[in-house]
């Protein structure tokens, strides 16, 4: 039983890790984003990628905690909220950094923030620890929204 639990935990963290790593790769490197105007508080690209991967893994861990408590079955909106925030988070980097679509990125970021907030509240109802693990993710997406706003 414990082996199955560890395997499911590894999958819950590994899938968002791989998807976010691929999204970071699709976003481009620092050389590909030299056209983006940089504010004095603009972090380097590796910091964007590292923070995105870290928060994505945190959401995976939170989702696993909810899943382990049977939360996806008891509240049917929880899984779509998790998937929505995951997909929106994957789309933001390539939209802003690779395509330069800052307006679209700002809209995606605003929807991502709302989906992440709703997901966090839903997770908190199922497992308070899972909801608390989403707080750094909310802080990161709030920073992304502010950053994206300065690009518009």
Q: Tell me: pLDDT of 35 over 70.
A: no
Give tens-digit pLDDT for 111-129.
999 999 999 999 999 999 9
Per-residue b or e along 27-63, where b marks 16 or more CB atoms closer than 10 Å to that residue's CB: bbeeeebeeeeeeeeeeebeebbebbbebbbbbbbbb
Domain extent, residue 117, equals 2-151
pLDDT confidence of residue 37: 61
Instruction: Report the number of distinct structural domains present in the chain.
Output: 1
Q: How confident is the model at residue 36 (pLDDT cuts 50, 70, 90)?
A: low
* Better-scored residue on pLDDT, 74 or 82: 82
Give tens-digit pLDDT for 47-62.
999 999 999 999 999 9
CA distances from 8 to 30, 62, 118 (A): 35, 13, 24
Asked if 78 contacts 119 with a C-beta cutoff of 8 angstroms, the reply is yes
Q: How confident is the model at residue 67 (pLDDT cuts 50, 70, 90)?
A: very high
């Amino acid at each position: 039983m414990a082996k199955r639990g560890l395997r499911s935990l590894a999958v819950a963290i590994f899938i968002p890790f791989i998807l976010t790593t691929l999204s970071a790769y699709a976003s481009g490197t620092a050389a590909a984003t030299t056209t983006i105007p940089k504010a004095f508080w603009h972090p380097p690209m590796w910091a964007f990628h590292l923070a995105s991967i870290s928060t994505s893994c945190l959401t995976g861990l939170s989702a696993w905690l909810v899943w382990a408590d049977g939360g996806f079955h008891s509240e049917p909106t929880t899984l779509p909220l998790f998937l929505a925030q995951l997909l929106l988070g994957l789309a933001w980097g390539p939209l802003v950094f690779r395509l330069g679509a800052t307006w679209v990125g700002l809209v995606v970021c605003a929807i991502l923030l709302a989906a992440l907030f709703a997901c966090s509240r839903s997770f908190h109802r199922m497992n308070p620890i899972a909801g608390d693990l989403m707080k750094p993710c909310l802080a990161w997406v709030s920073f992304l929204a502010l950053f994206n706003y300065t690009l518009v």
